[in-house]
Amino acid sequence: MHHDCLILLTGVVLALGYDDLSKNKFATQSTTVATPSNDANRYVASNAVDRNITTCMRTEGIGGTSPNEIVWWKVDLGGLYNIYSVNILFKNYDGYERRQQGRFAGFSIYVSSNGARDNSSLCYKDGPKLPALHFTTPCITYGRYVVFYNERLHGITYPDEYVVYPVYTELCEVTVHGCQASGVYGDSCTEPCPPNCRDNVCHIQRGTCFECAPGWIDTTCNTKCVGGWYGVDCKQECSGHCRNNAVCNHVTGQCDRGCAAGWRGALCNKVCHDGTYGYNCVHNCSGNCLNDPPCNRQTGHCEGGCKPGYNNVFCTEHCTSGYYGYRCDKACSGHCLNNLICDHIDGTCSDGCQNGYIGNNCIASKFFFLLV
């Protein structure tokens, strides 16, 4: 639905052509004043969005002798929209306009994606003058939930014109104006928002992005994160462990071509598990390294040396024939059977000794023992 004319009561004429985003949308409120059972819908929250100015929502009183100190009414627009303004038609009674203004005085309007009421979602705060009973304010932002909020806290001194005895909130119509279509802006909601705006929403007049999708920066979000940064506002730093020193994905931070040797995980920010090494940690250490961790996570080298009986940088080769032990620096006795070769680890002669020699390593002569 388009509105041909929308007047701000302060005298500013608002732009033409914006859509009614809140008509017949789901609304809730903090309390509902009691009514006879045959008139249960008389003051419900949805009355403020039915576009019938003769029906109004109404809450229980706040302030004064009432136990209630705050009141809120909320409409769910059903999705994230670019918003231009909020119009509220408050309930009026002939001859009681000043009283009604005092009841509504001090109210706030919040717009957010999750229904929050905080400083970042505050669109309007009333005061110090009393509000008009047909009120409109620019609210150039984006959101899904629009919240009317007011309070009369016990023990607080309010301006003289504020009504502080039990205050009843009556909203007859709340109209949120903006662009019904997603991802557009402009007076007629026909200009496309920049493609990298977060949540596909942008400033309804200028077309600039409120926030950028991850991986992009600048007012129109057309600049990629650079220099090893990624994510929302380019504030997250790449791990620095992408394969071939590549820069990580500017959106996700992932290493699209894999991790450098020794690293794992989508972000390449986790070292290989002990006992594995290399690209994507797919290689296993030899198992013959001497120290812990078993091998270098990048190269697979056994930097602390090899267990007895093994050599080379990976500790995968047996000692050269005829040698054994740590660093393979011990020579076999030369008295083993089967080509004189001993075990590469401890030098034992597994097939026995040549005639005249005894012991595991076939070193001592049996004649020596006989003489002794």
Residues 175, 27 share a domain: yes
- Report pLDDT for 38: 76
Residue at 193 is within a domain: no
- What is the per-residue pLDDT across 52-75, written as a single tens digit (0 to 9) for each? 999 999 999 999 899 999 999 999
Task: Out of 127, 151, 180, pick the residue that ends a domain.
Answer: 180
Assess whether 52 and 160 both reside in one domain: yes
What pLDDT does residue 6 have?
Answer: 35
Q: How many domains does the chain have?
A: 3
The verdict on 297 and 351 lying in the same domain is no
Buried b (16+ CB within 10 A) or exposed e, 312-348: eebbebbbeebbbbbebebebbebbeeeebbbbeebb
- Asked if 26 and 173 sit in the same domain, the reply is yes
Domain presence at residue 61: yes
Q: Are residues 107 and 163 in the same domain?
A: yes
Distance separating alpha carbons of residues 175 and 48, to the nearest angstrom:
8
pLDDT of residue 11: 31
Does residue 115 fall inside a structural domain? Answer: yes
Cβ–Cβ under 8 Å, residues 113 and 234: no
Residue 302 belongs to some domain of the structure:
yes
- 61 shares a domain with 156: yes
**What does the pLDDT read at residue 168?**
94
Residue 366: per-residue pLDDT: 64
Is 197 part of a structural domain of the chain?
no
Tens-digit pLDDT string for the chain (372 aa): 333 333 333 333 344 579 999 999 999 999 999 888 778 889 999 999 999 999 999 999 999 899 999 999 999 999 999 999 999 999 999 999 999 999 999 999 999 999 999 999 999 999 889 999 999 999 999 999 999 999 999 999 999 999 998 899 999 999 999 999 999 999 999 999 999 999 999 999 999 999 999 999 999 999 999 989 999 999 999 999 999 999 999 999 999 999 999 999 999 999 999 999 999 899 999 989 988 778 999 999 998 899 999 999 999 999 998 999 999 999 999 899 877 789 999 999 988 999 889 999 998 776 654 444
Q: Which of 180, 201, 221 is a domain's end point?
A: 180
Same domain (yes/no): 68, 173:
yes
Of the residues 159, 180, 201, the one at which a domain ends = 180
Residues 102, 166 contacting (CB under 8 angstroms): no
One domain for residues 305 and 329:
no
Per-residue pLDDT, 16: 55
Q: Which amino acid appears at position 41 of this protein?
A: N
Backbone dihedral angles phi then psi of residue 233, each to the nearest 5 degrees: 60, 20
Domain that holds residue 157: 19-180
* pTM for the full predicted model: 0.75
pLDDT for 40 equals 84
The CATH number that applies at residue 43 is 2.60.120.260
- Asked if the structure places residue 352 within a domain, the reply is yes
